A and B are shown apart, each in its own frame.
Chain A
Amino acid sequence: MKRIDLIGFAAGAIVAHPMRSALTSLGVVIGVAAVVMMTSIGLGAQQRVTSAIGGLGSNLLIVMPGASRGPGGGFVSQGAGSGMSLNEDDAKAIAEQIEGAVAVAPAVRGGAQLTAEGANWQTRVEGVTPDYLTARDLTIASGRMFDENEARQGRKVIVIGKTIATELFGEDSDPIGKRIRVGTAPFEVIGVLTPKGQSGFGQDQDDIVLGPLQAIRSRVVGRRVQGTNVQTIYVKGASADDLDRLQEDVTNLLRERHRIRQGAEDDFSVQNMASIMEAMQASVKTFTSLLAAVAAVSLVVGGVGIMNIMLVAVTERTREIGLRMAVGARRSDVLYQFALEAITLSVIGGIIGLAVGIGGGILMAKLGQWPVAIAGWSIPVSLGFSLLVGLVFGAYPSWRAARLDPIEALRRE
């Protein structure tokens, strides 16, 4: 017989019971949709983690006071940020003595109310040095950054992000030269940063105020940070590959400077953004595989549904099978007819599931505010898998149909 007629047989049987066929396919629809959606969620989360950590600045080490949990930039660091073990001299020493430190930026921060022209805005203000821009991958859109002298002299000038400019002076205004009261102290705006938009963690990266380290420490942060102490030192390396070596050098230098005896714990922590990114990506990947594996189980359940209905169909259509054999169907013709029916049900389910999965992935990305990421491979893989499911779970019912004895089959009521 001709192959085209076999397709006609399968299509005819599927169309004859539209409701049953739809429900049978539904299992595969759900399975494939789940696999596609889970991988797309995983991929989106992975991209978001990358951009979130990348948004902090690339090739960055973040040095904070307090003990680190262990060497190598522990992912969870208890007590990091507590205590006041870092100061500006540490930053200077890193910049001068360590090779490959492209930018070293000590920083302090504190919350403050900003007021200007009757408008006010609560935000976090950072006291930094000019190197901060390089370390955090920031650029100036208009105006300028304060220089080393201004920073050292404690001049009351600030550089603000787009959000601050909009909130205090309105859309499309030019805030350069205007005055903003930070807490109680008046500052002059000398620059506006290039907008960066929302970070991967959902924070507005343009809600930012940068002022000279000295001025911010004394006027805004107040007593919590004394002398030349700083809360953070950002160290930017030349490349990601060099970051581990840089981390080790910084750690050794600071231990030496802080006179920490061998075996004693650090009184600071160095976080390596590259290794944190790696660790987070690895955990997201594991999570994604886990989700996909669970989704794959539902695909198998869908396959069992197909097998169940095909077995029912073979029983129901025993007489039809007997008749087909009597008028000349070979056993292989019967086998192919039922196998093709199972595969068609499964693949139709796969195609619909793919559409549902892609739609669901886009929806989840919208809701979770991460980039839409549909893995290209998920299309051939899910269609291939639905074909395989139809083949595997259709095999046994089809074999049963083909093994029927035509005499017995014709006699069946």
Chain B
Amino acid sequence: MIEIRDLEKTYQMGEETVAALAGVSLTIERGENVAIVGPSGSGKSTLMNIVGGLDRPSRGTYRFDGEDVSHFDDNALADFRNRRIGFVFQSFQLLPRLSALQNVELPMIYAGKDKTERRARAERMLDRVGLGSRMGHRPTQMSGGQQQRVAIARALANSPDLLLADEPTGALDTQTGNDVMALFKALNAEGLTLVTVTHDVEVAAEADRRITFRDGLIVSDDKAGRP
């Protein structure tokens, strides 16, 4: 599903040119559960931003289901993020003014879905993550684990092809972190492709495949449980 060839991303820092990605090639198939690990500054976040359509590569190609995403314009990228990607962030990134239900509806609003359809789908997604009884609650009235589950429901709203999670358990205690990981596993088991960026060795251990980054390059790529 994802085909990355010789991907480079460079930034101009004053006089110096810094390479966040120094030529990365990678293929991820539909239904995989991949963990991307590496120290900070290794380029893993940059890769996630490009894969998620938040950023464009400096050189190289990125194909998603055969489409060359690296040449999309701003609007095409916005639509790409809206329909095909579900983001889950470390800090949840819920809008505090809105209820859980309204937060989940947000991506569907940008997809142009009408209100009744949105509401029904948002209710189903909140049920799916186990928050059926808290749809009217605001983020501030919820625990961290509950907030992250609202964020997951939001990520699922437009039935994305790929769930991108950036340190999804980084702000949670061990128990709620494990609950969130269990939820991810269940979603992956239903066929959703999952890419998680993390420092956490335990989180990485849950994945079927671990890709390790260092200095903008892939240094190892191993598939657990497969010979």
Contact A325 B78 (CB under 8 A): yes
Contact with A along B111-153 (1 / 0, CB 8 A): 1101000000000000000000000000000000000000000
A332 vs B76: C-alpha distance in the bound complex, in angstroms?
Answer: 12
B residues 150-166 in Cβ contact with A at 8 Å? 154, 158
**B55 within 8 Å of A by Cβ?**
yes
B95: which A residues are within 8 A, CB to CB?
A: 320, 323
Cα(A13)–Cα(B102), bound, Å:
14
CB of A294 closer than 8 Å to a CB of B: no
CB pair A326 B154 closer than 8 Å: no
Judge if B68 is at the interface, Cβ distance under 8 Å: no
Verify if A407 is at the interface (C-beta below 8 Å from B): yes
In the bound complex, residues from chain A placing their C-beta under 8 Å from that of B55 are: 407
A280 CB → nearest B CB, Å: 57
* Distance, CA A331 to CA B93, complexed state (A): 19
Cross-interface CB contact of A330 among B49, B74, B87, cutoff 8 Å = B74
* Cβ A328 vs Cβ B79 within 8 A: yes
- Asked if B109 is at the interface of the complex by the 8 Å CB criterion, the answer is yes
Q: A56 at interface (Cβ–Cβ under 8 A)?
A: no
A327 and B54 contacting across the interface, CB-CB below 8 Å: no
Question: How distant is the Cα of A329 from the Cα of B108 in the complex, in angstroms?
Answer: 10
Is B81's CB within 8 Å of the partner chain A? yes
In whole angstroms, what is the CA distance A357 to B208 when docked?
70
What is the 8 Å Cβ interface bit string for chain A, positions 304-328, against chain B (1 contact, 0 not)?
0000000000000001101111111
Chain A residues with CB under 8 A of B106? 324, 327
A367 within 8 A of B: no
Chain A stretch 157-201: residues in CB contact (< 8 A) with chain B: none
B81 close to A326 (CB less than 8 A): yes
Number of interface residues of A (CB under 8 A): 23
In angstroms, Cα B75 to Cα A333, docked, is: 10
Of chain B, the residue at the smallest CB distance from A406 is B54
Chain B residue, CB-CB nearest to A330: B78
**Is residue B62 within 8 Å, beta carbon to beta carbon, of the partner chain?**
no
Question: Interface 1/0s, chain B 27-70, versus A by CB < 8 A?
Answer: 00000000000000000000001001011000000000000000
Whether the Cβ atoms of B54 and A330 lie closer than 8 Å is no
Query: Nearest-CB distance from B9 to chain A (Å)?
Result: 12
Q: Tell me whether A326 and B110 are in contact (CB under 8 A).
A: no
Having A1-B109, A329-B78, one finds 7 other A-B pairs with CB under 8 Å, namely: A1-B111, A1-B112, A2-B109, A325-B78, A327-B87, A327-B107, A329-B82
20 contacts between A and B (CB under 8 A): A1-B109, A1-B110, A2-B109, A2-B114, A12-B97, A13-B97, A319-B93, A323-B93, A324-B110, A326-B54, A327-B107, A328-B78, A328-B79, A328-B81, A328-B82, A330-B74, A330-B110, A331-B78, A333-B78, A407-B49
CB-based closest 5 A-B pairs? A328-B82, A328-B110, A327-B107, A330-B78, A323-B93
Binding site for A on B (CB under 8 A): 49, 52, 54-55, 74-75, 78-79, 81-83, 87, 89, 93, 95, 97-98, 106-107, 109-112, 114, 154, 158
